[in-house]
Structure formats: structure tokens, C-alpha cells
Amino acid sequence: QVTLVESGGGLVQAGGSLRLSCAAYGRTFSTYAMGWFRQAPGKEREFVATISANGRATFSADSVKGRVTVSRDNAKYVVYLQMNSLKPEDSAVYYCAAKSGYSSGNLKAYEYWGQGTQVTVSS
């Protein structure tokens, strides 16, 4: 069991950068693959990026390819989402999530979810 708390969201101009953090409270963090998802008003929650439990494997959605980097520091129980070249279309509530086993882009596969952090990109 693990509790997840996102932070780092805010207001940024188009073309700018943000780094989101997800702090995990639970000593099994290093056994979980982690995912980032986002949800904009009126839209379904969508996959952004994921990272394996040991941090060796990552992949991201086509919509953010080349602009985001997911990483983790298991010693600090934190996973990060670095976002660059932000666009207004990136505005959403960003959620981190945890699952046992392999990393995945399927939100239904994740067992634990944070409460989200708001990202707003202005033009």
C-alpha cells in the first residue's frame, strides 16, 4: 500500500517548463511502476508517461513525445515529470499513479492514485 501526493503544478507561459513531483508514502515504492496521467475539463483522463520500478524503462504518449521526461529517485521515494516546451493543450490536472509489475499506459492497470496537481499553460 502507498499514498501518493503530487506537487509542482502552476501557471506557466507557452514554451516554458515545469517539473512535477510525486511523493510516495510507503516503503514498497521501489517495487511499483509509476505512471503520469492528465485530465482536462470535459475530457477523459489520458496517459502521459510511465517508468518501471527500477527506473530503467520509460515511455510516453505521442502527444508529449520529446517534451517530457519521467524519472524517479527511489532513495527519496519520489517520481518526477519534467515538462518542456509547454503548450496550452497541456493544461490539465496531472495525476501520478502506482502499480505492481510492468509499466503501462493503461490507467485501468494502476492500483493507487494521487489527488492531482493543476498545470495551466497560457498563450
**Cβ contacts of 63-72, under 8 Å, gap ≥ 24:** 63/89, 64/90, 70/34, 70/36, 72/34
Question: What whole-number percentage of the chain has pLDDT above 90?
Answer: 97
Q: Rounded CA gap, 120 and 29, in Å?
A: 29
Q: Tell me, what's the pLDDT at 27?
A: 82
Question: What whole-number percentage of the chain has pLDDT above 70?
Answer: 100
When computed from its CA atoms, the radius of gyration of the chain, rounded to whole angstroms, is 13
Report residue 26's pLDDT band, with 50, 70 and 90 as the boundaries: confident
Q: Tell me, what's the pLDDT at 88?
A: 97
With 90 as the cut, is the pLDDT of residue 81 above it?
A: yes
Report residue 1's pLDDT band, with 50, 70 and 90 as the boundaries: confident
The pLDDT tens digits of the residues spanning 89-112 come to 999 999 999 999 999 999 999 999
Q: Rounded CA gap, 101 and 34, in Å?
A: 10
Summary mean pLDDT of the chain: 96
Average pLDDT over residues 72-76: 94
